[in-house]
Amino acid sequence: MDAISVIRAKRDRGELTDPQIDWVIDAYTRGEVADEQMSALAMAILLNGMTPREISRWTDAMIRSGERMDFTALGVPTADKHSTGGVGDKITLPLAPLVAACGAAVPQLSGRGLGHTGGTLDKLESIPGWRALLSNEEMLDVLRGCGAVICAAGDGLAPADKKLYALRDVTGTVEAIPLIASSIMSKKIAEGTGALVLDVKVGSGAFMKNLDDARELARTMVGLGRSAGVATVALLTDMSTPLGLTAGNALEVRESVEVLAGGGPADVVELTLALAREMLTAAGVRGKDPADALRDGSAMDHWRRMITAQGGDPDAPLPVARERHVVPAPATGVLTALDAYAVGVTAWRLGAGRARKEDPVQAGAGVELHAKPGDHVTAGQPLLTLHTDTPERLPYALEALTGAVTVAPAGTAFTPAPIVLDRIG
């Protein structure tokens, strides 16, 4: 076989055969298929889609490109969660120690930022000393001692996906439903978790802009998980407005710690608890209510142990950007829209994200929100604060906010969208 024939088949809206899929995944992993060739195939998949059979085979081929993990030796149920990516989506940080505090082990494999969305590992790396890269043995040790671990997938776990994940970020192919579903599920199935809850974001700040596409993605992933013997459910959640009051690496860590301390923004707390309850139910764990674990400090205890076990200092000051710029409210009235995508692109342009897969990120860069839709604002009051180490980025970042804010006359009735829009499975 050769890469060009596979690319042409999908370019011409053909259905790839099992041998074609097996070959191209294996050859790309070994370096026989070049990045530019896989980029062309990824774009053809984005434009022309895949059948359920193709997606299932593609996922299986990525799993078979590496090893599979097994956590049965832990002696407790395991549960994991995956978000399809959003703006200000720091939920994994408080969620993993919270679920661990309630009795399930959480082997949370996470990723880097994709496009305008933040990455869990990028956020946690703003904590001095914290390590994302752990061996399988280290991962098990942290799980045994802390009940939760958040780390990068090892080189041996779905290595085909690791290469393709980074490539999609810089080639405009992140949004392809077959590639999203197979990327997420190949890692999660190979990881060996017993239960999986998927947080499928919907709205301007998500890769799925409408409910129909989000449901298609959710159903695809739930089907892949259940076929592999993993108890899988999905929540469709709103991403028209950023989650919480921050978008950026260290900014989001700080807000996550506030949630673990029993405070934090109401929307972050609500979604964290909803996902925690789904994870515990899917894992078959009954007993402690996650809300109690936030109140009594046990979730915070698990957080501190987890961060320390991975080399981090939970008491160390978090990085702060050198420059700040305040964006004022344009009018007096009710804030009715604050576009998540625009805020995400702004944070990305300030240095919180990357344009190339090898780019570094700024730990302190990002956007701080001083109001959310439904709040009353006064013209000139601080609406957003932009944080960056490189002030020359500010004009470019401010461009992204054009049209992002809508203020209606005072007294306008406004009902925010619910956080959880639907449940699949």
**How many degrees, rounded to 5, is the angle at CA 214 between CA 22 and CA 336?**
145
Q: At the topology level of CATH, where does 323-408 sit? A: Aldehyde Oxidoreductase; domain 3 (3.90.1170)
| Sequence spans of domains, the chain | 3-49, 72-309, 323-408
Please state, as a whole number, how many other Cβ atoms lie within 10 Å of the Cβ of residue 284: 12
Q: pLDDT tens digits, residue range 69-116?
A: 989 889 999 999 999 889 999 999 999 999 999 999 999 988 887 678
Rounded CA separation 395/90 (Å): 27
- Tell me what pLDDT residue 113 has: 78
Q: How far apart are CA 200 and CA 206, in angstroms?
A: 9
**φ/ψ (deg, to 5) at 97:** -65, -30
Nearest to 23 by CA among 40, 47, 3, 48: 3
Question: Considering only CA atoms, which of 52, 60, 116 is closest in space to residue 84?
Answer: 116
The b/e string for 306-331 (b: 16+ C-beta within 10 A; e otherwise) is bbbbbebebeeebbebebeeebebeb
Q: Distance (Å, rounded) from C-alpha 158 to C-alpha 66? A: 5
Domains 3-49 and 323-408 share a fold: no
Residue 183's Cα: distance from chain center in Å?
12
- DSSP code of 151? E
Catalytic site residues?
82, 161, 168, 183, 187
Query: From CA 318, how far away is CA 301, in angstroms rounded?
Result: 19
pLDDT of res. 118:
82
Which superfamily, per CATH, for 3-49? Transferase, Pyrimidine Nucleoside Phosphorylase; Chain C (1.20.970.10)
Burial class (CB in 10 A: 0-12, 13-18, 19+), 212: exposed
In 41-130, DSSP assigns E strands to: 79-83, 106-110
Would you identify the CATH topology of the domain 72-309?
Pyrimidine Nucleoside Phosphorylase; Chain A, domain 2 (3.40.1030)
Tally of CB atoms within 10 A around 249: 32
CA distance 207 to 223: 20
- Which helix (H) or strand (E) element contains residue 420? strand 420-424
pLDDT of 357:
67
Give the residues of the chain that fall short of pLDDT 50. Answer: none
pLDDT digits 0-9 by tens, 372-412: 999 999 999 999 999 999 999 999 999 999 999 999 999 99
- 161 closest CA partner among 299, 74, 67, 95: 67
Global pTM exceeds 0.85: yes
Across the beta sheet with 382-388, the strand order is 246-248, 366-369, 382-388, 323-328
Please give the helix or strand (H or E) that residue 383 lies within, else none: strand 382-388
How far is residue 194's CA from residue 233's CA, in Å, rounded to a whole number?
Answer: 12
